[in-house]
Structure 1
Amino acid sequence: MSSPAPRPRLNRDRVLRAAVTLADEVGIDALSMRSLAQRIGVVPMALYKHVANKEELLDGMVDVIVGDIDLPTPGADWKAAVRERVLAARASLLRHPWAARVIESRTSASPVVLDHMEALVAAFRAGGFSVDLTHHAMHALGTRMWGFTQEVFPTPAQPADADARAAMLGRFAARYPSIVEMASTTGGCDDQFEFEFAIDLLLDGFERLHQQGWTSAERS
């Protein structure tokens, strides 16, 4: 009778990737050190040899996601390199819907996170951008460099009852006719299109400022 195959050795990478997979399945709020230990098949104390606590676990999960962002095409110019990297970050975030909230909650940047930011800054600098313009371009990108944008206000939930819903929409249209006109004409939002539209708009603007030799000193 053959003996069972040995269980893969537990290490930090295995712990973090198991945590990412579990969060994808059950959501970040349901993830705990205990549930993760059960998923891996170890006692909870075994995890603490690799991550000190839940916050360090979350830091490491962000590193996994950011570290898996695809690299731009070799030899791409600055504009293509930045666009590809940002859209690759978005693709990674779409695979892990909980990640945006965790990224926003981090209080410090790890080496993996800084590597991503370094790559974007280096792409601008390789394209001839000044340090000044690169600085402001990074601020303008904001959370888009991580593949998501912050929605200021969500769309109000509509009542399930048809009459109540019609009444609510009527009141809304009377008070906010321009919003209703826009919503009814466009037929809703395509999040991917809107994300790419904004990135392309920003990149075109950065390019124009670069060609004009813009500096922040012009504000004074």
Structure 2
Amino acid sequence: MPRPRSLTTADLAAAALAVLDRDGLSGLTMRAVAKELHVATMALYRYVPDRDRLEVLVVDQVLGGVDLSVPPGDWRDQLRALLDRMRVAVTAHPAAVPLLMRHRQSAAATLHIIEAMLGVLAAAGFTGRDRVLAQRTVIGYLLGFLQNEHYAALAGPGTAAMAELAAAEFPYLTETAAEARRLGPAAEFHGGLDIVLRGLTLPES
């Protein structure tokens, strides 16, 4: 009987991402990925120990191509560029959002992105506690936005329903929901990020 073909990490990652994109997070199983690769399920365990490792490979596949170079100029613009590149990469694979949150401290791609962000903050003058808070604040904004965009439907039926409430009872809610329906995801992301970045101030010397 011929020996099963050897698989590369790239093969595994691409197959796992294809399953995730097609079948969603619940469909990402060792059996499904093995089927995608046309190998027996048990053969897959020669390369990865469990689904958890498959998930890490997916995160690396989604974010591994993010450009880590920073444009010249203001540190806020540099952070904005890195965060927007992450958003665009994840938007192409929305089912990966929970995995990004779960493995952000273990996937190599996320570690490299965080390192790039910390480098921007360090060069700007953030140190110690201030750097910790600044980095976690911007990452928290990104993760929260991605969840809202892909799992709460920013301009979906819920927003539409709020816009149709009785204006006499909910004047601010109806007005704001109507405005929200006119915002695209990119405009909302950049507008909110601008607010966050304006709130970050360099530590006093």
TM-score normalised over the length of structure 2: 0.79
The one of 74, 91, 95 equivalent to 1:94 is 91
Tell me, in whole angstroms, the C-alpha distance in 1 between the residues paired with 2:152 and 2:59: 25
Aligned with residue 62 of structure 2, among 65, 74, 77: 65
Q: 1:32 corresponds to which letter in structure 2?
A: T
Alignment deviations for residues 161-198 of structure 1 (CA, whole Å, 9 cap, x no partner): xxxx8xx945x544322100222345443221111112
Q: In the alignment, what sits opposite 2:194?
A: 200
* Unmatched runs of 5 consecutive residues or more in structure 1: 1-6, 159-164, 216-220
> 1:149/1:187 Cα in 2 relative to 1: closer, same or farther (>3 Å)?
closer
Match of 1:54 among 51, 56, 80: 51
Letter in 2 for 1:190: G
Q: 2:34 is matched with which residue: 37, 44, 54?
A: 37
1:37-84 Cα distance to aligned partner (Å, 9 max, x none): 111111111211111011111122112222221223465553332111
The aligned amino acid for 1:37 is A
Q: Provide the C-alpha distance between the structure 2 equivalents of 1:105 and 1:30, rounded to a whole number of angstroms.
A: 17
Q: Please give the TM-score of this superposition, normalised by the length of structure 1.
A: 0.74
1:129 partner amino acid: F
Q: Which residue of 1 aligns with 2:122?
A: 125
Q: 1:15 to 1:153 in 2, by over 3 A?
A: closer
Deviation at 1:109, TM superposition (A): 2.3
Of structures 1 and 2, the larger Rg is shown by: 1
The residue aligned with 2:15 is 18
Whole-Å separation in 2 of the counterparts to 1:96 and 1:81: 24
Alpha-carbon contact 1:19-1:31 (below 8 Å) kept: yes
Shift of 1:90: 0.3
User: Aligned match of 2:176 in 170, 182, 207?
Assistant: 182
1:135-146 matched pairs, under 5 angstroms: 135-145=132-142
The sequence identity of aligned pairs, in percent, is: 25
Query: Which amino acid in the other structure matches residue 183 of structure 1?
Result: A
One-letter code aligned to 1:40: L
Contact 1:90 1:147 in 2 (8 A): no
What does the per-residue CA deviation read over 1:106-133, in whole Å, with 9 as the maximum and x for residues that have no partner?
A: 4852343222211100111112333332
- State the one-letter code of the partner of 2:185: D
Q: Is the 8 A contact 1:63 1:113 kept in 2?
A: yes
Deviates most, 41-50 or 102-111: 102-111
Structure 2: give runs of 5+ residues left out of the alignment. Answer: none
* Distance change >3 Å, CA 119–CA 191, structure 1 → 2: same
Q: Which amino acid aligns with 2:7?
A: L
Matched, 1:116 2:113: yes
| Pairs aligned (count) | 196
